Amino acid sequence: MSILTSVKSYVTHYVGHEDDPKGNPNTANTAGTGRMTDQDNTGLPTKHFWSADYATTTFMDQGLMTARTDGMDPVPDTMTVYDIYADRARRTPDKPVLHFVENGAWTYRTGREVLNDIRKTAKGFLHYGIKKGDAVAFMCRTSYEWDIIDAAVLSIGGVIATIYDTDSAEQIRFIVNNSDARLLVVQTADMKAKADGAEKDCPTLERISCLESGLLQELQAYGESISDAELDQRINSIRKSDLCSIVYTSGSTAAPKGVEMTHEHYCQLARNLNAFIPNLTYDPEGSILLFLPQAHTFARAISYGVIYGEMQVYISSGLATLLPDLQESKPTVIIGVPRVFEKVYNAASQKAGHGIKGKIFSGAAEAARKYMTDISVQGWPTKRDAMRRAMYDPIVYNSLRQVLGGKTKWIVSGGAPLDPQLLGFFRGANVPVYEGYGLTETTAPCAFSPLGTPYHKGSVGIPFPGFTIRIAQDGEVQIKGTCVFHRYHKNDSATEDAFTPDGWYATGDLGRISRDGFLSLTGRKKDLIITAGGKNVSPRPIEEAIERSEIVSQALILGDKRPFISALVTLNEEALRPWLASKGLDQNMSTQEAAENAVVKAEVQKYVDKANEGVSRAESVRKFIILPEEFTQENGLMTPSMKVIRPKVIKRYADLLNTRMYVSKKTKATRR
């Protein structure tokens, strides 16, 4: 079939008439006008049903713009996380639930087999002497074992204290001490090596055990001495209000805090997720690929949610195997963080190269973004933009969808803001990426974009079912709901600071709400830069504009209490090499040499100039320095949820900032 024939077929099927966008089933979604005004409160209250039985209402409350999405009634007092697995085993005992790699090959466990492993392991913890309220610190990558250990400990009233698999020896000891853990369970020998000696440093710690050394089998063997009746007696004594986990924040702006989570937090979220989008979660042919760390609330909460439905869960071995794992699982749902979607886009761009294929990809990217801009501004595309988009679908967009498995219906980006330009590209390419918003303190999602909601450029969606969100006078996003945490573990002062006098959780994020209940984030209070001249600058939009360069990996905007705004920039190593070759430069030059190369600097300057076009001179980047290394978890400058740790970057490069970036006139004169 020729490209022209493909275009005609696609346009006939999907585009329709310019003034009649109805019947367009694709992921760009033309429902509604998509027009967002800044805190427009005329005509309130408004009510929309983005799900058949649960309304989203926008209204003014005590003079503050507020939006609420209805959720399910409270969970029964006796419901716990264990019941999520037990209910699934009852409904689908012989159907696959959890898929994972074992001995180099994919395998699975059915609902009955998963529950059986949980119960045998729980008996092992009972044999060890774990009592209700006892903490077990757990350091493990996303894996089948993670699910089993987690559910087993929670089923008997234990408390899982989460440790990221990349955490340092110091962080391990902090979490063990803060949680008063009796046991420390680690996955690998390398993790155990980091933990060795912790028994001496942590008064409550009795034992360090390693899954790689056979711990799971050991627990299940000891568990044979515990009867079903004894296990069930303990399980039946646990209540929804009981503490089940202490989840440690990733600490991108401050020291980690332990967020206390109850069974009710996770169970209520699971029920609301399934009630609101049953067409996805109750699809027995549907699947989700999990690759984010389950030590992070986002992946863990969504995992509980889909197990409560009927989807199958594929557990990836990590980002290194993500592409083959996508082909194996062919997921209908994917959850990720912006860094992952940036890498997907960059990989597609690099594969296209800098010749004719590169020009085609650039044209396709621009066509997709323009199409979605039309949708955001007026609710439907112009015929010209619709046809341009249709032209690229069979030759560019379809290939991208196939890379993601070819069956995706809902891809959710959370954990940090996603560049609106990147979101516009994916949605315009008919790749169903939707943005959500949540925090550890809200059991992950507190705002999301379910299928069927209109496209609002820059929005993270409507309140998640059961949440109410308001915008304070200073622009702060504040939240109420059953799934909002109650306290930080052993940190009363931080708990007090986290809530307003009238009981709302103060997120520290800045945002606005549209008349139809869509939340947009505009920055973060702690990241807000106040220059020496008193100008307030939100760094993220500027960073996003610079990061759109194919050779830029990260940009960090600085300038707090400084005379001007500056940027630290890191290079995308994978994209850099072919880019250098395309410019006739030595593609094997070191990253240090590339950081100092005049052509590389000129390329970055182009994107700095583009970023400066949309801001005042006081907000513009006057100077930047390219660093020879990226911000990573390994060098301690990025959290496990892939957010740059601003204070640590500033501390690490303090000398560079003081001697090269911000040099006083007196110092310059002395040097002359």
Which residue bears the tokens 């103060």?
506
pLDDT at residue 666 above 80? Answer: no
Residue from 525, 519, 618 nearest 563 by CA: 618
Domain formed by 81-315, architecture: 3-Layer(aba) Sandwich (3.40)
Q: Work out the average pLDDT over 361-369.
A: 94
For 492-513, what is each residue's pLDDT tens digit?
999 999 999 999 999 999 999 9
Nearest to 33, CA basis, from 455, 373, 536, 570: 455
Q: What is the pLDDT of residue 353?
A: 81
CA torsion 305-310-311-312 (nearest 10°) is 110
* Distance set, CA 276 to CA 135, 237, 272, 304, 455 (Å): 33, 30, 6, 15, 18
φ, ψ of residue 426 to 5 degrees: the values are: -65, -45
Query: For 617-650, b where at least 16 C-beta lie within 10 A, e where not — what string?
Result: eebbbeebbbbebbbebeeebbbbbbbbbbebbe
Reduced to 3 states (helix: H, G, I; strand: E, B; else coil), residue 106 is strand
Nearest CA-CA partner of 364 in 341, 387, 397:
397
**Token digits of residue 396:** 């560019």
Q: Which residues contact 427 (CB under 8 A, 6 or more apart)?
A: 27, 28, 29, 368, 372, 433, 455
Q: Which two tokens stand for residue 168?
A: 């340092």
Give me the sheet containing 410-413, strands edge to edge.
105-110, 96-102, 312-315, 287-290, 333-336, 410-413, 433-435
Query: How many whole angstroms separate alpha carbon 137 and alpha carbon 316?
Result: 23
| φ, ψ dihedrals at 470, nearest 5° | -130, 160
Q: For residue 1, what pLDDT is reported?
A: 38
**Per-residue confidence (pLDDT) for residue 578, from 0 to 100:** 92
Give the start-to-end residue ranges of the domains of the chain: 81-315, 529-661
User: Could you tell me the pTM of the whole model?
Assistant: 0.83
Contacts of 303 (CB under 8 A, 6+ apart): 147, 288, 290, 294, 313
Which residue's entry shows tokens 């024939």? Answer: 5
Structure tokens belonging to residue 484 = 């909002």
Query: Is 191 a residue whose pLDDT tops 70?
Result: yes
- Percentage of the chain beyond pLDDT 90 is 74
Residue position matching structure tokens 């110091």: 170
User: Would strands 312-315 and 258-262 be described as parallel, antiparallel, or unpaired?
Assistant: unpaired
User: 283-297, pLDDT tens digit by residue?
Assistant: 999 999 999 999 989
Measured between alpha carbons, how far is 560 from 141 in angstroms, rounded to an integer? Answer: 37
- Amino acid sitting at position 659: T
The residue-averaged pLDDT of 389-405 equals 94
- Vertex 172 angle, CA 170 and 174, to 5°: 70
Residue-wise pLDDT for 578-621, tens only, equals 999 999 999 999 999 999 999 999 999 999 999 999 788 888 99
Distance of CA 216 to the CA centre of its chain: 30
Q: Give the three-state DSSP class for 55.
A: strand
- Architecture in CATH of 529-661: 2-Layer Sandwich (3.30)
